[in-house]
Structure 1
Amino acid sequence: MSITPAQAARQELTGFEGKLTGPEDSGYEEARSIYNAMIDRRPALVASCTNAKDVAHAVGFARERGLPLAVRGGGHHGAGLGSCDDGVLVDLSPLKDIQVDAEARTVRVGGGCVWGEVDRATNAHGLATPSGIISTTGVGGLTLGGGIGHLARTHGLTIDNLLEADLVLASGEQVRASADENADLYWAIRGGGGNFGVVTSFRFRLHELSTVVAGPTFWPVELGAEVLTAYRDFIPHAPRELNGFFLFGSVPPAPPFPEDLHLRKICGVVWCYAGADPEAAARAMAPLLDALPAPLLHGPAPMPHPAIQSAFDGLYPPGDQWYWRADFVNEIPADAVDQHAKFGAELPTWKSTMHLYPIDGAVHDHGPTDTAWSYRDARWASVFAGVDADPGNAELIKRWCVDYFEALHPFSAGGAYVNMMMDEGQERVRASYRDNYARLSRIKADRDPDNLFRLNQNIQPAQRP
């Protein structure tokens, strides 16, 4: 009688210090869970790793047995690429170490941390590094894909603040990647996703930032075209301290929002002014507000940086159905504005949304080939997200999302932010890396020639001569 992969792992991986869980074990359902309930995958083994040596053991086990290998940090990826069927899931969640060096303005972060943990640790010292907009997002997944968030215009992408990373390669070798050490890997992991190894530790640059002026401004969804047009013209010229992404959505049915606005469809901007002075923030926002009718709600206020980072956490807990598409955008002509206004008014569920993130300012301080993240010349990153708690609405939210994406894709720059793509095929991956794909493919051939790390937005190894 054959034994299961989990049983085999427990027999063979005698040096493994974490927990090995298979379908036959109690706790398996919790161990295999990921953020997006639309994805239901059943790995043969969940290897919860407590250190880099554990990761090397798990990677080696998958490699030697020819099993699919997935890596889960926060588990947020929309396409569910942090899990697999009948393979090995490397669970990094026990790797939670956070070390802040306030004098050097750096933080070392374990590969299993989520951003809320990092934000709280750095905020205690009056410091921050750019991340995303939901604090339950994993540090690893967001960073390796690029890292668009509330501070991008001010301090760049997350990868622009990544100083070094420790990785376990497909061979099981443990290496460090930085500007001075394994520079090819350092270039590749800054946007190239999980294609090159499992990152067990990151070190980031920190910036002086404790309090921000943040919060939403909402207008009726019927003003969508007018507000988007004004925002389009305003944000590229706003001071770098002012971050703000445009959205279509619905007012959450909970405090602090007024009851008379609950579930009302809106358009608006979620602001994050990187400074504590509300008067300076108001002056920065004023040109947009002065150009538009009075909003339904104007809520920016001073708050600790972790507060705006976690503001969406309650709105989007684990276990919802998610389907999303994304595109980079250079221009938003009138025809594109009209399409946005149409689909924004047709949100299929109250949690469904469209976000348009500005990626100018500090993001443009780097060129398209400085890191693997190619679209330094784009001006926005759009994401169309169908979201609902009810599995019965899965097809509804997917159809709206795909239709919205297809209506706007002709106006796109071609590729998309890989962290917000579904499993859309190799052509889309290539389009999202453009001229950088060939270099990434050569590094992949050197570091992972058998494509062990393929459950991702996959960069295929270059064919050797």
Structure 2
Amino acid sequence: MSTSTATLDPQLTARLRGAVRGDLVEPGDPAYDEARKVYNAMHDRRPAIIVRAADAGDVIAAVGLARDQGLPLAVRGGSHSVPGHGTCDDGVVLDLGGMRGIRVDPARRVAWVQGGCTWADVDHATHAFGLATTGGVVSTTGVGGLTTGGGMGHLARRCGLACDNLVAVDLVTADGTFVTCTDDQHSDLMWAVRGGGGNFGVVTSFAFRLHPIADVLGGPVFFPLDADVLRRYRELVAEADERLGAVFVVGLGPPVPFLPERWHGRPLCGVVACWSGPRDEDDRIRERVAALGPVLGRHLERIPYPLINTLFDELVPAGLYHYWKGSFTRGLPDGAVDALVEYGATTPSIQSVTVVFPIDGACHRVGPEETAFSYRDADYSIALSPTLTTREDCEARKDWVRAFHRALEPHSMEGGYVNFMDGDDQDRVQTNYRANYTRLKELKQRYDPGNLFRLNHNIAP
């Protein structure tokens, strides 16, 4: 925990105040302690100044200040970065949270989304037109971090990753240049932001391709924690229509009314289904999911699409303590199944949910070199996390998740998903990008040779 109280030179602050429309928050201000908080309470940092940007001009000003003064620059969207990349000590926090405008073009099926939006914002705006795109499974997740890392969600098998649905971005580069990137202009940067994280600039707005999805058959179905359930699950995914999203979860029974009380707090597993196909096939989908094992409880109903991305919200609110690891797998090998069952049985808290995302289907129809996200031959992405209510408990359970990750390693691919990496995974960056790493490094040297954008899973120039 930091006790730093560094402040900017008052002349710099005055100059910045004259250049931005948004708010500036400094140490000593009444709003400072609240403004410096991030989603993962493990990170208690004290920036020299927080710039609450109102528009792209404010972003340019904040980037210029950090660059010219040699200060650390943390870019914050939804603030969900588990390694705490949305904050820093003694530097500039560029908070995009005030930039949450959205414009939907229903005829072209495109949504322009400002960089401070959350997926709840996007889902709400697009649902009014009966449209949707792949987004985060926790609605408070920021659009920027999830998308630039790749972007997994319930619609990935049908619609691809969030980054696959990007058609344009507005970007502020390290030298303060504002560029609009598409496949036809600044295409090198467009390629890089589709999975390369925040290494190349600040995205002030995204343009997403939308799909005609208004409501889904969605919700959880819980089963006893058993290897046979997982084996049937992998068969289900291998044969299922791509319109079926099927996120697998391992953890402790949540205190929900449709799960018998005797299972609350006990190890179990489940599928959060998301069928975006026709309503007249709902019963068939219910039966197919129920066939995975003895059903302990379920709440699988027709719901508006935005609702399915809120199902984890109450379980993991802001202010908890997290530590994450991630793996990719081809198929779901028996060894990985055994590890999920073994370590799932000792899950440390109800909030500590191990999540298995299927990323086949549409995700596989993009080549490994077409975007910075290269793991197009992975079938699953696994997120591991002890999530606790105190720092001490989270620190104490880091060994659990490290051992869990080691148990998965012999059955996993070499790298992992950058958005599931914690702060001590910097040595995995090159393997996380595989053959694309060399191209990414060349782009980093061209656009950010001073490594201004380094508070991320950094591709060093």
**TM bucket, shorter chain:** over 0.9
Summarize deviations over 1:7-31 as a string: whole Å, max 9, x none.
3443112221111111121100111
Contact preservation (8 Å) 1:68, 1:88: yes
Summarize deviations over 1:263-300 as a string: whole Å, max 9, x none.
232111111111351x413324544533x432111321
1:442 Cα deviation after fit: 0.7
Q: 1:184 aligns with which of 181, 188, 192?
A: 188
**2:294 corresponds to 1:294:** yes
1:262 Cα deviation after fit: 2.5
Q: Which residue of 1 aligns with 2:411?
A: 411
Q: 2:272 aligns with which of 270, 274, 282?
A: 270
Q: Which residue of 1 aligns with 2:235?
A: 233
How many angstroms apart in 2 are the aligned matches of 1:350 and 1:396?
Answer: 16
Q: 1:33 aligns with which of 34, 37, 43?
A: 37
Inter-CA distance 388–6: structure 2 relative to 1 (3 Å threshold): farther
Contact preservation (8 Å) 2:110, 2:209: yes
Contact preservation (8 Å) 2:73, 2:93: yes
How many angstroms apart in 2 are the aligned matches of 1:160 and 1:108?
Answer: 15
How many angstroms apart in 2 are the aligned matches of 1:122 and 1:57?
Answer: 31
1:329 Cα deviation after fit: 0.8
How many angstroms apart in 2 are the aligned matches of 1:333 and 1:112?
Answer: 39
Contact preservation (8 Å) 1:70, 1:84: yes
How many angstroms apart in 2 are the aligned matches of 1:425 and 1:78?
Answer: 12
Q: Percent of aligned positions with the same letter in both sequences? A: 47
Q: 1:5 aligns with which of 5, 8, 12?
A: 8
Matches within 5 A, 1:259-408: 259-275=261-277, 277=279, 279-284=280-285, 286-287=287-288, 289-290=290-291, 292-408=292-408
Q: 2:127 aligns with which of 91, 113, 123?
A: 123
- Relative to the length of structure 1, the TM-score reads 0.95
SS in 2 for 1:78: coil
1:260 Cα deviation after fit: 4.0
1:6 Cα deviation after fit: 6.7
How many angstroms apart in 2 are the aligned matches of 1:310 and 1:151?
Answer: 14
Structure 2 counterpart of 1:252, one-letter code: P
Summarize deviations over 1:404-443 as a string: whole Å, max 9, x none.
1111112111111101101234430100000000001111
Contact preservation (8 Å) 2:332, 2:380: no
The CA RMSD over aligned residues, in Å, is 1.6
How many angstroms apart in 1 are the aligned matches of 2:190 and 2:309?
Answer: 27
Summarize deviations over 1:109-154 as a string: whole Å, max 9, x none.
1100101011011101110011110000000001100100000001
How many angstroms apart in 1 are the aligned matches of 2:344 and 2:85?
Answer: 28
How many angstroms apart in 2 are the aligned matches of 1:76 and 1:332?
Answer: 28
Structure 1 counterpart of 2:239, one-letter code: H
How many angstroms apart in 1 are the aligned matches of 2:10 and 2:154?
Answer: 45
Structure 2 counterpart of 1:441, one-letter code: K
- Relative to the length of structure 2, the TM-score reads 0.96
Contact preservation (8 Å) 2:258, 2:298: no
Structure 2 counterpart of 1:379, one-letter code: D
Structure 1 counterpart of 2:440, one-letter code: L
How many angstroms apart in 2 are the aligned matches of 1:69 and 1:307?
Answer: 34
How many angstroms apart in 1 are the aligned matches of 2:324 and 2:7?
Answer: 35
SS in 1 for 2:19: coil
Q: Which residue of 1 aligns with 2:174?
A: 170
How many angstroms apart in 1 are the aligned matches of 2:229 and 2:102?
Answer: 41
1:258 Cα deviation after fit: 4.3
How many angstroms apart in 1 are the aligned matches of 2:7 and 2:265?
Answer: 49
How many angstroms apart in 1 are the aligned matches of 2:177 and 2:258?
Answer: 50
**2:193 corresponds to 1:193:** no
Structure 1, unaligned runs of 5 or more: none
Comparing 194-203 with 329-338, greater Cα deviation is found at 329-338
Comparing 36-45 with 67-76, greater Cα deviation is found at 36-45
Comparing 385-394 with 103-112, greater Cα deviation is found at 385-394
Q: Which residue of 2 aligns with 1:43?
A: 47
Structure 2 counterpart of 1:213, one-letter code: L
**2:246 corresponds to 1:244:** yes
**2:206 corresponds to 1:205:** no
SS in 2 for 1:93: coil
Contact preservation (8 Å) 1:105, 1:207: yes
How many angstroms apart in 2 are the aligned matches of 1:456 and 1:371?
Answer: 18
Contact preservation (8 Å) 2:7, 2:27: no
SS in 2 for 1:217: strand
Alignment coverage as a number of residue pairs: 456
How many angstroms apart in 1 are the aligned matches of 2:189 and 2:56?
Answer: 17
1:38 Cα deviation after fit: 1.1
Contact preservation (8 Å) 2:39, 2:319: yes
Contact preservation (8 Å) 1:9, 1:20: no
SS in 1 for 2:198: helix
1:391 Cα deviation after fit: 2.6
